[in-house]
Amino acid sequence: MGLESSDIILVERGNTLYEETYGNRANIESTDLLLVEREVGGVKTLYRCTYANWANANSTDLILVEANSIINDRVVGQKYKETKSAWDFSSGTSGSSGTSGSSGSSSYADIHSANYAVPSSKLTFTYGNGSNQTTNFSVFEIQVEVTDSGSSSTGHLYIGFRNTAGEGATWGYPYYGDLPIGAVQILQSNGTSFRTNDYHNGDWNFAFGNHNPGGGVVPKGYYEWSTTDSSQGTTGVITNKTTNPNGFQFYSIEASTTNGERRFSYDTNGTPSSHVGAAQGVDTDSYPANMSTVLPVGTENITQDSASDDGGYLYMEASSTSTGNLVWLNAPEATDGSSILTVHNGDRIRIAYYGGSNGIDAARGLQPSDCIFLRWDEED
């Protein structure tokens, strides 16, 4: 659902309970206690957490909230549980190249005014592992604002990847920049219903490859998506992370990789560089891209596809590129260009990425800061 400023939180201070609104959370002191629910191995446990330590809670930890408005179909006085990740995204935190919130929607990340850098705290990368590991994918979520002049907008969603490998070292190691992207979902604000349009389903698992059954039929792979490509057209090599991608040229995604071409490609065989890459994409049995299963937010919580299914993922082959190079995905549109997306303020974008092998060490490997970007561009 996402938190609103009027929502009420129960706080304990000096053995006394009191209520505070989310909008006035700055009044909560570091030693105040919050009641938190955590599930481990199917067992749910309640514990008390100081407000100072709340920042270190798991993204899936739950806090009890009482609605005090009718925003987003709330019922005044009704209790509901909200995740730590929703608390973070509702707090207006933005990436270094983006802003968050305007015109009464301060709880959502503004992805329409500027390129929005996914906060580094939402990405977990691992270093020192071998090539094409079989560990799980991770999922982050951004609850977005797409317009400040209404409640919804029709246009294009862009997902950008910036090769940050080596930015922690004295010189670049760009070949450690292979980052697999396994799946994308667009959910309504309740976090359980998919955002659907006449043509699109808001649910894409790239492990289904170039599968496109047409219209609202499922499942769908990467067919509807397109990529910038430095080897074609006049866009060239992209290095400015603030440039609106709406002016770039986009091309069909291919199931082949070539060093230095700076484009998203589909891969089922793993990446050629050491210490990076996943063996397969997101499991097609557990996440069939038919709007039946929501990707849960978490770290290494999404299983890979089986080798027999041979499902892959999208990534930019980073060899022979440079640290700081960018590539962009253009969200799906029909072949006639008419059936583009309609997204509402408060919708949730979830992306499954592979953080299980991202370079030989933290200094030379992929860095989470200014690595993944979102941008919404409203259709004229």
pLDDT, tens only, 57-96: 887 888 888 888 776 667 888 888 888 776 765 544 333 3
Residue 120 shares a structural domain with residue 73: no
- Tell me how far CA of residue 216 lies from CA of 222, 283, 298, in angstroms: 14, 21, 28
Do β-strands 251-252 and 62-66 pair in parallel, antiparallel, or remain unpaired?
unpaired
Residue 17 shares a structural domain with residue 113: no
Residue 66 shares a structural domain with residue 165: no
% the chain with pLDDT above 90: 51
Decide if 55 is inside a domain: yes
- pLDDT computed for residue 182 by the predictor: 97
% the chain with pLDDT above 70: 89
Residue 25 shares a structural domain with residue 154: no
Domain limit, last residue, from 89, 122, 147 = 89
Label residue 151 by pLDDT band (50, 70, 90).
Answer: confident
Q: What is the pLDDT of residues 174-193, one digit of tens each?
A: 999 999 999 999 999 889 99
Nearest alpha-carbon partner for 144 in 175, 113, 178: 113
Q: How many domains does the chain have?
A: 2
Residue 148 shares a structural domain with residue 59: no
Residue 118 shares a structural domain with residue 32: no
Decide if 2 is inside a domain: no
Mean pLDDT for 36-42 is 85
Residue type at position 288? P
Domain limit, last residue, from 89, 116, 140 = 89
Greater confidence (94 vs 130) lies with 130
pLDDT > 80? residue 197? no
Decide if 3 is inside a domain: no
Label residue 171 by pLDDT band (50, 70, 90).
Answer: confident
Residues, the chain: 380
Residue that is written with structure tokens 């592992």 in the block: 129
Beta bridge partners of 16: 13
Decide if 314 is inside a domain: yes
Decide if 1 is inside a domain: no
- pLDDT computed for residue 93 by the predictor: 37
Mean pLDDT for 328-332 is 88
Give whichever of 28-42, 58-72, 144-158, 345-359 has the largest mean pLDDT: 345-359
Sorted by sequence, the CB contacts under 8 Å of residue 8 that are 6+ apart come out as 19, 20, 21, 22, 65, 66, 67, 68
Do the beta carbons of residue 231 and residue 238 sit within 8 Å?
A: no
Residue 208 shares a structural domain with residue 273: yes
Domain span including residue 258: 98-380
Decide if 158 is inside a domain: yes
Give whichever of 1-15, 52-66, 98-112, 124-138 has the largest mean pLDDT: 124-138
Residue type at position 377? D
Decide if 224 is inside a domain: yes
